[in-house]
Structure 1
Amino acid sequence: MATVQVSEAEKVYILHGIRDDLRVDGRSCEDYRHVELETDVVSNTDGSAKVTLGHTAVLVGVKAEIGKPRPMVPDEGYLEFFVDCSANATPEFEGRGGEELGTELSNTLYKVFNNKNSINLKSLSILQGEHCWVLYVDVLLLQCDGNLYDAISIAVKAALFNTKIPKVHMSSDSEGSKEIELSDDPYDCMRLNVENVPCIVTLCKVGHRHVVDATLQEKACSVASLLIAVTQKGTVTCLRKVGGGSLDPESVFEMTETGKRVGKALHAPLMNLLQQEENLGKSRQKVGFLG
């Protein structure tokens, strides 16, 4: 993860500001920075989105391909995640540093999104036990200024919303074997229901308080962070602690309640924006929300 060096005087200044609910950039402890969202930005994908959160920029592309279902769930499709940490985002992503972070992010995304509670995986089935849709979700980190998980989760949800999967038509030949034909009509497609897809809210414990959407400087003052995946109904689907420090049970409870409240509030403007773009055909436009 990208880091910055913070002097002791800066740490004291940041800690005192957070204690008084007034951060260095003027936000309160539960405020996000300004978020900008673009969808349908990569032409050779079935769905894509770019999210800019403060100075953190993330690009997500979704490619649907026909594959073989997994033996344990023959009537479901699945998602595969790959995260590329561009060295242009920060020099720390060069070499193994970027690979390790990419693997860590991919594993977290897999736990949060690749399950039947987030996406109707049965809708990705084509022929039980034989063929299914596999959604390859590629994440590219363009710029890093803290809070990668939140930015990536927003971009993944937007890209899945934007994904258009071709309709499949089945036919049988004279020998009775099944043949698959994909529709050439771009409007004859299947869309994903992303209502239950969660967003990740990262809360950093700084001093005796916790903050949402921490900058790199605030992250440097944090002892530990809690990643909370929250649906639009406020349901927590995944909880994970990161960082070397420890969190007491009371802090975990308080941070979870904050994450549920903030996450629920995050979904409403995001879904409204995605629906507005869909209805008005304004994809490719950069639109800001929050902040």
Structure 2
Amino acid sequence: MATVKVSEAEKVYILHGIRDDLRVDGRSCEDYRHMEVETDVVSNTDGSARVSLGHTAVLVGIKAEIGKPRPLVPDEGYLEFFVDCSANATPEFEGRGGEELGIELSNTLYRVFNNKNSIDLKGLCISAGEHCWVLYVDVLLLQCDGNLYDAISVAIKAALFNTKIPRVHMSSDDEGGKEVELSDDPFDCVRLSVENVPCIVTLCKVGHRHVVDATLQEKACSVASLIIAVTHRGTVTCVKKVGGGSLDPESIFEMTEAGKRVGKALHAPLMKLLQQEESLGKKREKVGFLG
């Protein structure tokens, strides 16, 4: 993860501000920085989105391909994640640093999104045990200024909303087998329901308080963080602790409650933005929210 060095005087200044619920950039402890969401930004994908959160920028592209269902779940499709940590985002991503972070992010995204509670995986099945849709989700980190998990999760939800999967027609051949035919009509497609797709809220413990959407400077003052995946109903689907420090049970409870509250509030403006963009047909128009 990208880091910055902070002097002791800067740490004291940041800690005292957070203690008084006033961060360096003027936000309160549970405020996000200005966020911009842009969909349909990559032409050779079935769905794409770009998210800017402060100076963190993430690009997500989704390709749908026909594959074979996994043996344990023959009536479901699945998602595959790949995260590319561009060295242009920060020099720390050069070499093994970016590769290790990419694997860590991919594993977390798999836990959060690739389950039947987040996405209708049965709806991705074409023919049980034979054919299913596999969604390849490629994440590119363009710029890093902290809070990667939150920005990536919003970008994935927006890209899934934008994804158009060709409609499939099944037919039988002369030998009794099944043939899969894809519709040539670009408007004859299937859309995914993203209602239950969670968003990730990262809370960093700084001093005796916790903050949402921490900058790199605030991250440098944090002992540990809690990553919480929250649905639009406020249901927590995944919790992960990161960082070398420890969290006491009371802090975990407070951070979880804050994550549920912030995550639930995040879904409504995001879905409103995506639906407005869809209905107006302005796929390439930048729209800001939570600013």
**Normalised by the size of structure 1, how large is the TM-score?**
1.00
Distance 2:85 2:285 in 1: 25
Cα offset, 1:89, TM superposition = 0.1
Cα offset, 1:19, TM superposition = 0.3
Q: Which runs of 4+ in 1 moved over 3 A?
A: none
Distance 2:179 2:232 in 1: 39
Q: Which amino acid aligns with 2:155?
A: A
Aligned match of 2:234: 234
Aligned match of 1:161: 161
Q: Percent identity?
A: 88
Q: Which amino acid aligns with 2:179?
A: E
- The answer as to 2:276 corresponding to 1:276 is yes
Aligned match of 1:52: 52
Cα offset, 1:150, TM superposition = 0.1
**Normalised by the size of structure 2, how large is the TM-score?**
1.00
What is the number of equivalent residue pairs in this alignment?
Answer: 291
Q: Which amino acid aligns with 1:258?
A: A
Distance 1:173 1:230 in 2: 46
Distance 1:66 1:146 in 2: 36
Aligned match of 2:123: 123
Distance 1:74 1:52 in 2: 38
Q: Which amino acid aligns with 1:167?
A: R
Alignment deviations for residues 138-175 of structure 1 (CA, whole Å, 9 cap, x no partner): 00000000000000000000000000000000111222
Cα offset, 1:279, TM superposition = 1.0
Q: Which amino acid aligns with 2:133?
A: W
- The answer as to 2:2 corresponding to 1:2 is yes
Alignment deviations for residues 207-239 of structure 1 (CA, whole Å, 9 cap, x no partner): 000000000000000000000000000000000
Q: Which amino acid aligns with 2:78?
A: Y
Aligned match of 2:286: 286
Distance 1:193 1:41 in 2: 20
Give the 5 Å matches for 1:77-226: 77-226=77-226
Q: Which amino acid aligns with 1:87?
A: A
What runs of 5+ residues in structure 1 fail to find an aligned partner? none
Aligned match of 1:35: 35
SS in 2 for 1:265: helix
CA RMSD, aligned part only?
Answer: 0.4
Cα offset, 1:253, TM superposition = 0.2
Distance 1:187 1:121 in 2: 22
Alignment deviations for residues 261-287 of structure 1 (CA, whole Å, 9 cap, x no partner): 000000000000011111111111111
